[in-house]
Amino acid sequence: MTQTVEARVEVMGVRHHGPGSARAVVAGLDALEPDVVLIEGPADCDHLVPFAAGGRLVPPVAMLAAVADDPATSSFWPFAEFSPEWQALVWATARGVPVRFVDLPAGAVLAARAAQDAAAGEHAGDPEGDGEHEDGDGDGERTDAGGDGERTDAGGDGERTGGDAERTDVDRDAPGAADGVVPWTDDGPTSPAAVRRDPVAALAAAAGYDDPERWWEDVVESRTDGPTPFAVITEAMAALRAAAPEADEHEARREAHMRLQLRAALKAGHRRVAVVCGAWHAPALTTPLPPAAGDARLLTGLAKKKVTLTWVPWTSSRLARASGYGAGITSPGWYEHLFRTDRDVVASWLVQVGAALREKDLPVSSAHVIEAVRLAETLATVRGRHLPGLAEVTEATRAVLCDGDDALVAHVTAQLVVGERLGEIGDDVPTVPLDADLRATARRLRLAFSAAPRTLELDLRRDHDLARSRLLHRLTLLGVPWGQADEARSRSTGTFREAWSLVWRPELAVAVVEAALWGTTVEAAATARCVDRAADADLRELTGLLEVALLADLAAATGPLLGRVDEQAAHDGDIGRLMAALPPLVRAHRYSDVRGTGTADLARVADALLARICAGLAAAVTGLDDEAASALRGQVDATHAAVRLRDDPDGLRAWLGTLRAVADRADISGALTGRATRLLLDAGELDADEVRARMGQHLSYGTPARTQAAWVDGFLAGGGLLLAHDRALLGVVDDWLATLPTDAFTDALPLLRRTFGAMPPAERRNVGDAAVAVPASGRGPAASTTVAVDADLAAGPLRTVALLLGATR
């Protein structure tokens, strides 16, 4: 007669990203030797489990789920090396033990979110993510459009950030909580409403702590030995759940789904089952389980979306609460150190701190480190802690190694306590074709994905650097800003060079998935995206797109874009838009030879635009007030720079003739006539004597002061140093200012302050020094003026001044 072996189910309630929990999970798995491991996580991600074996994934990494027809709706499930779930994955895959994710499928989570967003009438949806109640124990970190609007609800059964209550999952018993006795109150961390939001705060309060994180570190993260705490954790959570409000529908469905998966594992014949889940859920998964019929009813009609699932790299800093991640922790670097280090935890940590400070050329010796260790241990003893925690270590670092300098402490925090390390994924990990092409191209061009900012200097005369530039421009066009162009540095190093700042952020993985809708390769996707944007773009946007298309070497997009530009330019009569469209065209044509792209048609379109601008500018400047004229002045400057860059004698001659016509007019704003005069002077079309005559005419008596000031502002904008070199010109301005009536001076002063305030300090100083030597008439050395002083009348004030200055007379 065969005896049936009773199934053994051990529920391991953990804190996500907790090194103490991770250590306890490994010990619990070693003791149980389960024949199946069930992990809280989206049930449709089981096919991603095998990639955790063999070092193909280097944490931190995250599972990414994105809706197939709307990739902007997506979620992350991050894992660090010290995450209990990750250690369970590694333990099981290394031993060939089956692993199952048992939480609601990602397709159901994202379907619920999409429905909620639709009901709310906005794509951003619930600020806490996927309809979660305030418990925040979400289903993955949510990002919208892979961009700055990151929304999180992730990973964290029982973890929440963003409020004054922060919830964490528990992996070790709390003093006074084992017997379920909790001092409930009407408010504060132990009120029934707050317990579901922040169970650790309730346990910490029961233990006499006012800081939940301090309690957690004392009882869990700092301990490296002792029995697994899961039974006591489950008992404590059961007591908390009994007093907390009932779960919302989403949490109830999650727990129902996990129970169904547990029943399925038992039905399949597994006799030793390990369940790794957030501690808040542990009581709901402990056997005996409630009837399956109730769970089935809860899950009836559960909507699902078709989703794309893959692994993506994550960063240490994204595990930190400061990044906005819902299940975040304050110190991922410190937690990783706790997980990896079995002995001399504090000493080895402070050795790393000393090394980090020495990199900043600070004199940190071994004696400093020894003294810091002693101080941290003493602080722990005084505070009744069995081991120093991060608070004691940080205070010892500040006092001994940083001499009280908070800036240095911040450096240590950023580099070590939080850290900035990007995970890695293997080439065989499933992903969208566009991402595979991007990674293959990056490898070929020797561009490493890194979370640390990196400056990249490119010489476009080299084929390798030119290919890098094209890739970065294509990604920018696709909305995947891996690199940010440093325009100032690029301009300062010549037309053959570009400067980029590269930093890879996890949310860019979502942007890549979104961009995959446009094509399977970076070039094809960028081309399709460019042509699509051109369909609804105005003339200025079109020429900007054309410039980027040439920089990105998108030959298939250049023809359609040129056709659209030609068409728009022929029908657009707005001079402002025509002037805004010219500079990108000219830059694209001027620098085309550097990149080896054919742009013969660009010159024709640019010349046609310039002809229309020259013909229409006179009418466009008529009737503009000073504010509108100042706005148009910037476009005149940009057009002038573009014409000079074009280096076409006929076009330059036509443009300078247009500027002279503007400068000669007396019926338009001085902001434009003054600017036209200055541009003609810089181009050599007017000599200094003629400019001084024009200035004297516009600053003559009878012209309103504000009109005169507008002319000066237009003339001097962008280059006041001219006054320091032309003393006669400075004399004209000086005489004008000296003869302004008080009311007129007050009226013109704001504009003059803006004019001279915009000059660099050195320029203003040079103009001021030159003004000292300018004669009142502007035609000779300043005459000295002698003023007769009555000695008797001056004696009293002089004695007072001498007394104030401490002098004797």
d(CA 626, CA 435) in angstroms, rounded, equals 51
Cis ω for the linkage preceding 59 (within 30 of 0): no
Tell me the backbone φ, ψ of residue 121, rounded to 5 degrees.
Answer: 80, 15
**Is the separation of the CB atoms in 275 and 10 below 8 Å?**
yes
What pLDDT was estimated at residue 324?
A: 36
Distance CA 51, CA 58 (A): 10
How far is residue 644's CA from residue 632's CA, in Å, rounded to a whole number? 19
pLDDT single digits (tens) 71-123:
777 888 889 898 999 999 999 999 999 999 999 999 998 888 877 777 765 44
Task: Pick the more confident residue, 386 or 783.
Answer: 386
3-state secondary structure of 718: coil
Mean pLDDT of all residues in 59-78: 84
How does residue 762 score in pLDDT terms, banded at 50, 70 and 90? confident
| Most confident listed range (529-543, 573-587, 740-754) | 529-543
Question: Residue 37's pLDDT band (boundaries 50, 70, 90)?
Answer: very high
Ranges 79-93, 265-279, 522-536, 784-798: which has the least confidence:
784-798
Q: What pLDDT, on the 0 to 100 scale, is given for residue 129? A: 35
**What pLDDT, in 10s, does the model give residues 587-601?**
777 655 444 445 566
What SS3 class is residue 123? coil
User: What pLDDT digit, counting tens, does each position of 694-736 carry?
Assistant: 877 777 766 677 777 777 777 777 666 666 666 666 777 776 7
DSSP at 517? G
Which residues make Cβ contacts (< 8 Å) with residue 382, sequence separation at least 6?
Answer: none
Burial zone of 327 (CB within 10 Å; 0-12 exposed, 13-18 middle, 19+ buried): buried
Question: Which has the higher per-residue pLDDT, 283 or 585?
Answer: 283
Q: Among candidates 116, 115, 146, 111, which has minimal Cα distance to 128?
A: 116
Per-residue pLDDT at 237 exceeds 80: yes
* pLDDT score, position 625: 82
Asked if residue 504 has pLDDT above 50, the reply is yes
C-alpha 484, offset from chain centre: 12
How does the average pLDDT of the chain come out, rounded? 77
Q: What is the pLDDT of residue 166?
A: 30
Average pLDDT over residues 540-548: 83
**Mean of the pLDDT values across residues 789-798?**
79
**Cα separation of 171 and 158, whole Å?**
12
Q: How far apart are the first and last CA of the chain?
A: 125
pLDDT at 167: 30
pLDDT recorded at residue 320: 62
Region 759-779 average pLDDT: 65
Q: Which of 446-450, 541-545, 689-693 has the highest mean pLDDT?
A: 446-450
754 contacts: CB under 8 Å, gap ≥ 6: 713
Q: What is the pLDDT of residue 609?
A: 80
- Supply the pLDDT for residue 10: 93
pLDDT of residue 376: 92
At residue 808, the pLDDT reads 53
The pLDDT value recorded for residue 213 is 64
- Structure-token match 């499928």, residue found: 105
pLDDT value for 783: 41
pLDDT at residue 564, rounded to an integer: 81
For the chain, give the percent of residues with pLDDT over 90. 19
Q: Per-residue confidence at 416, pLDDT binned at 50, 70, 90?
A: confident
pLDDT at 399 over 80: yes
Instruction: Report in angstroms the alpha-carbon separations of 766 from 281, 498, 674, 716, 728.
Output: 73, 34, 22, 14, 15
Contacts of residue 347, defined as CB under 8 A and 6 or more positions apart, other chains included, come to: 369, 373
Give burial (CB, 10 Å; 0-12/13-18/19+) of 663. buried
Give percent of the chain with pLDDT exceeding 70: 77
Distance CA 286, CA 241 (A): 14
Whose CA is closest to 338, among 410, 401, 451, 416? 416
Q: Which of 139, 51, 130, 511 is nearest to 327 (CA)?
A: 139
pLDDT score, position 725: 67
pLDDT band at 277 (very low <50, low <70, confident <90, very high): very high
Q: What is the mean pLDDT of residues 337-341?
A: 85
